[in-house]
Structure 1
């Protein structure tokens, strides 16, 4: 066994009503000033009400004007607008973009560098403020990762800032926060989480530690995403999705995603296709392309998720996992053709060029991708 490391949030609370643990966190950290990151949709849905009431015991500032899929300039602007002399605790309440911005604030507020500097060299980062993440979707896994993804408008793409100092100090997985999550959001974030666990399990950087979380996350997500999408009252399925997404986030920190995420970034950066949707469109095609290099890994995943298939040969089990991915994307009604989302085939050269530049993730892929391979995969989406 090769040496490996896995860094995870120090304290994680889970279960309905666990946001009440904020009181304990405030006391433990001797907090006198809190900065809450959220967005207007989450706040108007009342999801931050209980949190704000708990935090009212100390000085609290709320930032809710984050844009969806923000650029690094958006994050810099929001952080620059923080008009508080001192912050003891940063709380992110929302989806991946909100939590990513909150994590960046925890390493930028008080620093002599900015987000732009971190794009050039993320290793200069240092944690200045303790952080607590509370996801309101069941898919991004940002509450557990050392990553923050921002759009780069001038490149019409996205880039990840990665440093373990961004791993949150606290996480609260409260199923009440996703009780009324719209099916459309369950679909896009849920398939994103599924991509996390499958990509991490088939990544070149997979380890025995990341495998543990990727495999268990896969079991939870494969078995529950269709039910969570179809039945708004199925809180058991939603809770399993919430935990599975968290496991996927941990797997990312230990292993890393691959070509699905790499090729999805230009789709989000230029066309503003939601991150989970762009991953869903690419997911099965990339796995089919990779299959001959990761048949045994996909078969192991099949054994974990569908033990009834244990007697089948590895090739059949790998195909079964890929077919299940296709079926899930179909059942949750995510479009699978880029033209439906406003992408033109004339932009193929841009997509290939921009996709090929995502080397941080492409190096994790179990097969090397040439420019021709990347073009082939994008062509499959039209």
Structure 2
């Protein structure tokens, strides 16, 4: 708690004279931005605030923010917010003064190099954006989302301060926490998993599995919330090492067309995708179970894999996240669109240990279109 004060050290180290501050109206309205601005004013550092970004923005929304930013001088970027804010700030760190656009980076993400250093201060406990080289934007004409991946976007500094999530609504704790849980489980079961990504994914999984329900049910439990914040950061490190898989791939059309919050769409799909994947990654799930729930160590590998999938489903249920798409207006006649759009997310699908045919994708979406 209180580590936001460390921004002073960063500003001094970087000899910063003016900060470009990225946030959104919700963060500002909750008073969290004031904590940062007080630090900047104490350091006599000038600043310009950009707070018009929409949640889960389209690439055009980010380009509008870039245009605003390019009218200002600044020597460091500070993002205080959730994943959308941090992703936009990371893109802006590449696009400051450039003659290319976010849309250009969708076609060729390696066009860009970092122009300004970045400081990330997450205000949710789940996106992991503060540790990744990814930025996700919606593509309205495709009614889906896409990730821009460039190692230049890895943040230079990260401030993890639990006071930033002290007043987070329970529904956001749930959605962002399950998003972080998906990160660590998907990374641990990814084709591209490495010993390094495994280390962070397992550590993050233990923190999130063991704390998310308590953080949701008891908002005053700051130890549980702090553990979620750290677990989400570990998940972001793991993503940079290995990448997510089919849960995230199939969730992108749900966010892009139906504007279902990212963490919620992941949560709805999570257990179904892992159950589909089980025969290809049971050993990995069992290893993860040993790391998270050593009290289950006497069980067989299959029993431990089943236990992890059961825990995922239970966490979604216990945090009151919807378990199907009925509440979001997704109809059975939308199935063909979902299958086509989901199958196009090859950047992530290639990481999945089990190949998904069009019929496999259709079956998973059918599971979440039907009523429980």
SS at match of 1:102: helix
Aligned to 2:276: 289
Aligned to 2:20: 35
SS at match of 1:364: coil
Provide the C-alpha distance between the structure 2 equivalents of 1:20 and 1:340, rounded to a whole number of angstroms. Answer: 42
SS at match of 1:43: helix
Q: How far off its partner does 1:162 sit?
A: 0.3
Q: Are residues 1:20 and 2:1 paired?
A: no
Q: How far off its partner does 1:86 sit?
A: 2.4
SS at match of 2:288: helix
TM-score (norm 1): 0.95
Q: How far off its partner does 1:79 sit?
A: 1.1
Out of 42, 51, 56, the position equivalent to 1:69 is: 56
SS at match of 2:119: strand
Aligned to 2:260: 273
Aligned to 2:366: 379
SS at match of 2:252: helix
1:106-156 superposed Cα distances (whole Å, 9 cap, x missing partner): 001122211111000001110000000000000000000000000000000
- The question of whether the paired residues in 1 share the 8 Å contact of 2:70 and 2:96 is answered with no
Q: How far off its partner does 1:83 sit?
A: 5.4
SS at match of 1:380: helix
Provide the C-alpha distance between the structure 2 equivalents of 1:359 and 1:100, rounded to a whole number of angstroms. Answer: 21
The count of corresponding residues between Structure 1 and Structure 2 is: 367
SS at match of 2:129: coil
Q: How does 1:249-260 map to 2 (within 5 A)?
A: 249-260=236-247
SS at match of 1:263: helix
Q: How far off its partner does 1:311 sit?
A: 1.5
Mean Cα displacement is larger for which, 49-58 or 268-277?
49-58
Gapped runs of 5+ residues in structure 2? Answer: none
Provide the C-alpha distance between the structure 1 equivalents of 2:196 and 2:341, rounded to a whole number of angstroms. Answer: 32
Aligned to 1:184: 171
Q: Are residues 1:349 and 2:336 paired?
A: yes
Aligned to 1:13: none
- The question of whether the paired residues in 1 share the 8 Å contact of 2:55 and 2:84 is answered with yes
Aligned to 1:53: 38
SS at match of 2:69: coil
User: RMSD over aligned Cα, in angstroms?
Assistant: 0.7
Out of 207, 210, 214, the position equivalent to 2:201 is: 214
SS at match of 1:42: helix
SS at match of 1:81: helix
Provide the C-alpha distance between the structure 1 equivalents of 2:178 and 2:35, rounded to a whole number of angstroms. Answer: 29
Provide the C-alpha distance between the structure 2 equivalents of 1:71 and 1:282, rounded to a whole number of angstroms. Answer: 23
1:271-317 superposed Cα distances (whole Å, 9 cap, x missing partner): 00000000000000000000000000000000000001111110000
Provide the C-alpha distance between the structure 2 equivalents of 1:41 and 1:152, rounded to a whole number of angstroms. Answer: 23
Aligned to 2:115: 128
Provide the C-alpha distance between the structure 2 equivalents of 1:85 and 1:30, rounded to a whole number of angstroms. Answer: 18
1:243-273 superposed Cα distances (whole Å, 9 cap, x missing partner): 0000000000000000000000000000000
Provide the C-alpha distance between the structure 1 equivalents of 2:76 and 2:332, rounded to a whole number of angstroms. Answer: 47
Aligned to 1:155: 142
Q: How far off its partner does 1:82 sit?
A: 2.1
Aligned to 2:323: 336
Gapped runs of 5+ residues in structure 1? Answer: 1-15
Out of 324, 333, 348, the position equivalent to 1:361 is: 348
Out of 103, 112, 126, the position equivalent to 1:116 is: 103
SS at match of 2:360: helix
Q: How does 1:67-146 map to 2 (within 5 A)?
A: 67-82=54-69, 84-146=71-133
